[in-house]
Structure 1
Amino acid sequence: MFDFWQGAEGLPVYGHMIRAMIVYFYIFIIVKVLGQRSMSSIDALDFIFGVVIGDILGEPLTDGELPLAGPVGAAAMIAGLHLSLSIFALKAPRFRRVIEDEPIVLMKNGKILHKELRKAKITLEAFLMDLRLNNASDLTEVDYAILEMNGSISVIKKSNFESVTPNDMQMNVANKGYSSVLIEDGRIIDANVQKFGTLDWLRDQVHKHGFANPKEIFLMTVDESGQIYTSPKSNNTES
């Protein structure tokens, strides 16, 4: 009666169909538990998870003699490990850099960084293709190009060439450049602060933006024009 679960030689077609439904809804539940992050971007950790889960649960679908309990338990173990690593990475920023790659700046101030392209193993042709896909075929308009952790390339255009351009209105606007994180989840990023000022300068900026101390800030960034963005820590951002 439960051959579809325990496995049997010559498992009938309906047994394989029942197994397929079980695996489908099981993976659906796993994805919902892990959260939308695993579907929105594919980084190294998510890629490993997808490959392993597919291999574990794919084999019993084709081999009716294999019991289903073992693969289902193994998939649950992998999903729990994946979720634990993701949560730990959120709690420990230093550990996060072990499992998530830092963004790589491939183009800075309109100049292509050849060494960074080689480091990222990206050919010039592939780089130019990505710029075209980002509607940045004219290199003179590009200020920054960054290889993000999920493998995609994001483009920051020079301010004079953004949509509804100040250039069309004969206005000279300072280039925004690449935004640097000054405070992340209440923690000061000292290396980035030193690029723009001192800790006293940062404290002044914190107070100017209405915060008593950095621990009240979830994210503070600054671009090369000096424009500062802040987002407070809050558990009740929505009413």
Structure 2
Amino acid sequence: MHEYINILFRTIVSFFALLVIARILGKQVLSNMTFHDFVTGITLGAIAANLAFNPKIESPYLFLSLIVFTATSFAISVVSIRNRKVRKWITGSPTVLIENGKILEQNMKHVKYSLDSLIQSLREKDIFDLEEVEYAILENNGKLSVLKKPPYRNLTQKDMHIKGQGAVDFPIELIMDGQLIENNLNNNDVSRRWLEAELEKREKNIADVFYAVKSTNGKLMLDFYEDGLKRPIDKES
């Protein structure tokens, strides 16, 4: 009887311990997982399972393991947020699978993504003909993002006021986490002087920008560290 009570107690403690850890690590753990989130989830689950059902391992050792692993995972998350290179190494980077309507076989081989998986993912987005696809990108969380060719895109209210539409370029990320992405500027013939001039109009510099992207219509979209929002949505109290 004592063993049953012990297991019951350890299971309850394990549940609440994981709940607290999930709150500490944040909502990213609950979203579609990256490599880091996958490793974190699997390891924490294994430790919690042992805490709940393995009386051969003493509880203090498992609690110590939980604390150390949580602290390590939390530290990695903080570092990856502040450093783009570290984040790219930990979570990986998106992979273009279709560019200008053409399937990039080498990229698919590199990420071990089969043609069957690609076709299935396109069907899940109501795309049954590859002719409709301009770009398809495999994100870090394993999901496929798709940009359709202009003739196959959904009509919007804004489109009703546009007489004609030329070729659409792919969005170009220029700044992330206050750091200029030199490769994207060089590979897409985007002038640094042009970017700095646009920022000067807003009385900002590169370090003030959290995210900057040149959108499909050629306009510069900016998100600054200081958004000026007094009451942001989804801010936990």
For this structure pair, what is the TM-score category when the shorter chain's length is used for normalisation?
0.7 to 0.9
CA apart distance, 1:238: 3.1
Give the equivalent residue in structure 2 for 1:88: 79
SS in 2 for 1:66: coil
Q: Name the CA distance, whole Å, in 1 between partners of 2:20 and 2:83.
A: 27
Deviation at 1:55, TM superposition (A): 1.7
Partner residue in 1 for 2:173 = 181
Q: Which residue of 1 aligns with 2:235?
A: none
Q: CA deviation at 1:226?
A: 1.4
Asked if 1 retains the 8 angstrom alpha-carbon contact of 2:29 and 2:41, the reply is no
Q: Which has the larger radius of gyration?
A: 1
Counterpart of 1:18 in structure 2 is 9
Please, which runs of 5 or more residues in structure 2 have no aligned partner? 232-237
Q: CA deviation at 1:152?
A: 1.0
After superposition, the C-alpha distances for 1:75-124 in whole angstroms (9 at most, x for unaligned) are: 11101100000101111112212112111000011111111111111111
- Aligned mate of 1:199, from 192, 195, 205: 192
Q: Give the structure 2 partner of residue 216 of structure 1.
A: 208
Native 8 Å contact 1:186 1:217 kept in 2? yes
Match runs of 1:94-133 below 5 Å: 94-133=85-124
Question: Is the deviation greater in 225-234 or in 58-67?
Answer: 58-67
Contact 2:133/2:146, CA 8 A, preserved across alignment? yes
**Aligned-pair CA distance for 1:47:** 1.0
Letter paired with 2:220 = I
Distance across 1 between alignment mates of 2:229 and 2:189? 30
SS in 1 for 2:196: helix
User: Identity rate of aligned residues, in percent?
Assistant: 24
Question: Runs (4+) of structure 1 moved beyond 3 Å?
Answer: 165-172, 174-177
Deviations, residues 133-160 of structure 1 (Å, cap 9, x unaligned): 1222222221110010111111111233
- Measure the CA separation in 2 of the matches of 1:171 and 1:111: 28
Q: How does 1:134-149 map to 2 (within 5 A)?
A: 134-149=125-140
How far residue 236 of structure 1 moved from its aligned partner, in angstroms, is 4.3
| Paired residue type of 2:229 | T
Match of 1:67 among 51, 58, 66: 58
Answer yes or no: is 1:227 the counterpart of 2:230: no
2:138·2:144 contact (CA, 8 Å) conserved in 1?
yes
Q: Structure 1 residues 169 and 114, CA, compared in 2 at 3 Å: closer, same or farther? A: farther
Match of 1:162 among 128, 149, 153: 153
- Alignment length (residue pairs): 229
Give the 3-state SS of the residue equivalent to 2:55 in structure 1.
Answer: coil
Deviation string 1:203-224 (CA, Å, 9 cap, x unpaired) is: 123234x233222221110135
The counterpart of 2:182, out of the listed 185, 190, 195, is 190
Q: Which amino acid aligns with 2:43?
A: V
Distance 1:122 1:34, change over 3 A: same
Structure 2 counterpart of 1:201, which letter? W
Indicate how the Cα distance of structure 1 residues 228 and 170 shifts in structure 2: closer, same or farther if over 3 A, else same: closer
* Cα distance between partner residues in 1 of 2:224 and 2:161: 35
Change (3 A) 1:186 1:168: closer
CA distance in 1, matches of 2:120, 2:48: 37
